[in-house]
Structures are given as C-alpha cells and as structure tokens.
Amino acid sequence: MSDKLFLTVKDLRKAYGEGGSYAQVLKGVSINVNRSEMCVIQGTSGSGKSTLLNCIGGLDSIDSGSVAVDGTLIEGLKGEKLSDYRRDNLGFIFQFYNLVPNLTVRENIQVCEYLTKDPLDIDELIAVLGLTEHQHKFPAQLSGGQQQRCAIARALAKNPKVLLCDEPTGALDSKTSRDILVLLENINRKYGTTMLIVTHNNSIKNMVDHVIYIKDGEISKDYYNEAKVPASELEDL
C-alpha cells in the first residue's frame, strides 16, 4: 500500500434477507481513498451508500470481497478484534447524534477520550467546535446544530484515522448545515482526518476532494474535483 492510499475496498458484496425478501445491496463495489481526503459517497435512497459505510465501519458483516483501512484487513474480524479495529481507527457521526442524554456536552465528549492512548486535547476540541459556553449543558438544552457539533467532537476526541459521516447534515436547516460543513472542512485541514461523508445533498460534492456515486449497488461514477468550492460558498444546502 502506498503512503497516500488509506482505504481499499475490493469487489465488496453484501446482501440482506432470504427467500422472497432477499436483496443484493452491494454488487462488487471497489474504491480507493487516499489519506487525509474528504470523500463524498452519493446515491439515491436504497442505492447501498450507507451499507458501504457500515461495512467499512465494521457495523455490517461482509459477504465477500475485502476492506482494508490503513493496511488492516477487516473482513473476518470478530468480537474483541473488531472492537479494537473500531476503537483504534474510526470515528462515527450519525444524522441523529446519539448523545447520552444524562451526560453533559463535556462528559459526552470525554466518553471517547478514555478509549484511546492518544486523544486530542478536549479543551481545544471544545473551543474549535464552538462549544465552550455550552460544555456543561445537557443534550436536551442544545439546538440541533449544537448537538451535532457535540457528536462531532465526541467522534474526534479519540483522534480517529477516519471519520465516517452518515447524513451529518440531514436533520439540519441550511444555515446550520453550512456551519457543520465548514467545521468538517476546518477539521480536515487542521488534523488531516480522512473523511467519508454519505449524503443525499447534491451540493456537498463540490467541497470535497473525491466523489463516488453508487447506483443500484454498483459504482456509477468515481472522480476527483479539479477545483473545490469552500463550504462557506456552497449553494442550495
């Protein structure tokens, strides 16, 4: 694997169900993502984009093919080894935040700090994400954008090699979506975090390095942007 190449997916296949409910969701997907890239995965509902993210994240098992993250092959990992892979390599950001309701912002972030030997500085992270004045509040006291920023801080606390983002702006209005995307852009620049962003929003593809389209479980487009638009200038969010 070259120094730049970070994620390699080869001929990945994944199906769900059996009999009349059997569905082949991924049909031989192959992609390469370089270190420190921002990469968008787009496709219509049911195209397989979230399943691909879940297979890379070790949340879904793989039927056949291979996934390697920073040289680690993940197919066949089970139990403690799979948990170690997720702990040591991945940060997850979901559309609906998944914050612990009876923990403060700071405590939610610290949950992930304790999972690693090399966490990012929590005070710096809270400041970078604009949460300093909110750090002692509970999730129910926050706006949707503040909750998402807390979820991002929690995912980043353990200094992951890759950030997996599943519809990170899907539940947010256009202004808050833009603020979150500017934040992800700044984090990528500051920490060099590799990012995979699953989204149905067609504008986000213009701000990233690498764009992948999935259609009916197969890659239909895979290209690099020659010129990126800053997140602050994206339209139609």
Examine the pLDDT at 116 and tell me if it is beyond 80: no
**Residue-range domain boundaries for the chain:** 36-62+78-233
**pLDDT band at residue 185 under the 50/70/90 scheme:** very high
Q: What is the mean pLDDT of residues 198-211?
A: 93
141-152 pLDDT per residue, tens: 999 889 988 998
The strand ranges marked E within the chain are: 5-16, 23-34, 38-42, 64-69, 72-73, 90-93, 162-166, 194-199, 210-215, 218-224
15-57 pLDDT per residue, tens: 998 888 889 999 999 999 999 999 999 998 889 999 999 999 9
Enumerate residues 6+ apart whose C-beta is below 8 A from 23: 15, 16, 17
Q: Does domain 36-62+78-233 have CATH number 1.10.8.60?
A: no
pLDDT at 1: 42
Whether 43 and 197 have beta carbons less than 8 Å apart is answered as no
Helix ranges restricted to H, 8-143: 49-56, 79-89, 105-113, 122-128
3-class secondary-structure state, position 196: strand
